[in-house]
Structure 1
Amino acid sequence: MNAPNRYELYVLEEGERPVEVTEDTKIPNAATIKIVKQDHTLANLLRSQLLGMPNVLFAGYKVPHPLHPYFLLKIQTDGSVTPAAVLEKACTDLITTLATLESKFKREFTMNTVEGGVQEDAYGVPTSGAQWESGGTYVDLG
């Protein structure tokens, strides 16, 4: 079969760099970043985070081939900051957002498991705990 071994999709080889930045010579203030051992999940998160930043003119990615575990991220800025610096800021912002989401998620479930008292959903309807199958309880992360 043509598929690589599963561990090759996420384990860095000896001397392999996880991120390689190549400045673009044809487009001003642009760079192509190769991120290895990652897939569409991280690529799409980074692209959407970059597009929300005011000094980013373009951000897009492509996965050249599904059997090769890397993607290419193209970033063009307005010149006030480098593409590498914008990528670092986007990663930091994503980490902060995910940490906030995790803490809100954990808080919501600790509130649902408090013993004693009546548990209520967001609409004030009494519930008997998490009811994922029946769709009774929902998590308010806002």
Structure 2
Amino acid sequence: MNAPDRFELFLLGDGEKKVTFVPETRVPNAAIFTFNKEDHTLGNLLRARLLKSPTVLFSGYKVPHPLFATFELRVQTDGSVTPKEALGQACRDVVQDLEKLSQEFTKEWELKKIANTGREA
């Protein structure tokens, strides 16, 4: 009843940015990225990918409030790369992983269709 329409949770409004970046002043080589109109799915995916990098010392995310589709991702590096560069590389890695998953899924789907076609004959 009071809840916003589902599409409003994920469509950006006029002048809204998808990601904002704030350097962390209390910790060296750290930053906080706020993702707008996203949820745990992307937050956990990026956190896990960042932790696989040898240059990332810390990566974690939190959802400030469950009714608002935003999360904050905190990244700390060893100084050899900036947090922004580490996040960019993590995003590229995730896209590559998803492309590989899509290719493998399509290949298996086609093989399944071929196998089922042989049984029908």
TM-score by length of 2: 0.93
Q: Which has the higher contact order (CA 8 A, sep 6+)?
A: 2
Matched residue, 1:105: 105
Matched residue, 2:40: 40
> Per-residue displacement from partner, 1:106-133 (whole Å, max 9, x unpaired)?
10010111133x6xxxxxxxxx8xxxxx
Give, in angstroms, the shift of residue 5 of structure 1. 2.1
- Structure 1 segments of 4 or more deviating over 3 A? none
Higher alpha-carbon Rg = 1
Give, in angstroms, the shift of residue 6 of structure 1. 1.3
RMSD: 1.3
Q: How many residues align?
A: 118
Give, in angstroms, the shift of residue 67 of structure 1. 0.9
Aligned equivalents of 1:24, 1:5: Cα separation in 2: 34
Aligned equivalents of 1:46, 1:2: Cα separation in 2: 31
> Per-residue displacement from partner, 1:6-42 (whole Å, max 9, x unpaired)?
1211000100000001001110000000001100000
Matched residue, 1:137: none
Structure 2: segments with no counterpart, 5+ residues: none
What is the identity percentage for the equivalent residue pairs of Structure 1 and Structure 2? Answer: 49
* More helix, by proportion: 2
Aligned equivalents of 1:3, 1:78: Cα separation in 2: 42
Alignment of 1:56-135 (within 5 A): 56-114=56-114, 115-116=117-118
Structure 1: segments with no counterpart, 5+ residues: 119-127, 129-142
Aligned equivalents of 2:48, 2:68: Cα separation in 1: 23
> Per-residue displacement from partner, 1:82-138 (whole Å, max 9, x unpaired)?
00110000000000001101110110010111133x6xxxxxxxxx8xxxxxxxxxx
